[in-house]
Structure 1
């Protein structure tokens, strides 16, 4: 059984907050997430749409991670695959602002029912459908310039191997660039 991870490219959304510099952030975020998924799953696909098409083409569980979470702990990805392989139909990592940072599905048919925000009411609806739903701990995505300070703080507590491209973009370990952005 193959483990497949898709990364949503969030450049367009980041452009709303960061302007033209969004391409730098998005490139760094995606580079860091590719490193994470290649190390954990061995397969990486960058997608902007059509998760259901990807779900139809893979043999095994599918995990979709948001492209604005370069600091995602490796354990969250492993936990999602473990839960799916143990029988969960759906694994969701909810975000602090109501969305999601990770969606795991065991069956391609579930790809047609991916949530928009807010994710928690959708999760309750999925449970009412008699699906085996598991929830990962809350985490945060980088959607606003102020999130850069939170990201810099989080990265200081994580191993140096996490998000190296994003760390370089943030500047020194004190998050100098994050402060310049007003975070």
Structure 2
């Protein structure tokens, strides 16, 4: 199975809380996710702000990563692909705020109903399970949605390898391996 990955570009959503800085953060996040996907799959991800339209041209299982998770552990992406390859219909990585950070979808037609807003994830999962499809949840993770999340992100990055999320680390002030500047606290 070819490993097709989409990165859901989140600049518009980030603009609501980050203002003009949203473009900087979004660009760094997407660059880091693109590097991560390339390292894991050997191919580049498709960047999109319209998952439903993009998914219409895909005829195989795929993984979508929320573009505000530059700190997503490699294992979550690998696990999503492995579970899809084993026959699971939907892999969900739930977010701490009621949405998702990663989705693996075996049948591209399911993308027509992907919840993009918080609160839509559980009803969507219920609907899929009522249709008899198999859903597996990955461990809870967090997305960067508010400036205060940048402090949590900085702490999470401290536990990850030094080369992880380099563009995001740069914006956080990690130019020499230690995150010298905290944001949003």
Q: Please report the TM-score for the alignment, with normalisation by the length of structure 2.
A: 0.91
2:151–2:182 CA contact under 8 A, matched in 1: no
Which of residues 171, 181, 184 in structure 2 aligns to 1:176? Answer: 181
Alignment-derived partner of residue 128 in structure 2: 126
Alignment-derived partner of residue 139 in structure 2: 137
Shift of 1:59: 4.5
1:2–1:59 CA contact under 8 A, matched in 2: no
Alignment-derived partner of residue 10 in structure 1: 10
Deviations 1:78-103 (A, max 9, x none): 10000001001111111000011111
- Provide the C-alpha distance between the structure 2 equivalents of 1:79 and 1:10, rounded to a whole number of angstroms: 23
138-147 or 53-62, which moves further after superposition? 53-62
RMSD, aligned CA: 1.4
Shift of 1:111: 1.1
Alignment-derived partner of residue 167 in structure 1: 169
Alignment-derived partner of residue 61 in structure 1: 61
Structure 2: runs of 5+ lacking an equivalent:
none
Shift of 1:177: 4.4
Shift of 1:16: 1.0
Deviations 1:30-86 (A, max 9, x none): 00000011111213110010x244334335311111000000111100100000010
1:91 to 2:91 alignment:
yes
Structure 1: runs of 5+ lacking an equivalent:
none
Which of residues 137, 150, 153 in structure 2 aligns to 1:151? Answer: 153
Q: How many residues align?
A: 179
112-121 or 154-163, which moves further after superposition? 112-121
Q: Please report the TM-score for the alignment, with normalisation by the length of structure 1.
A: 0.92
SS of the equivalent of 1:39 reads helix
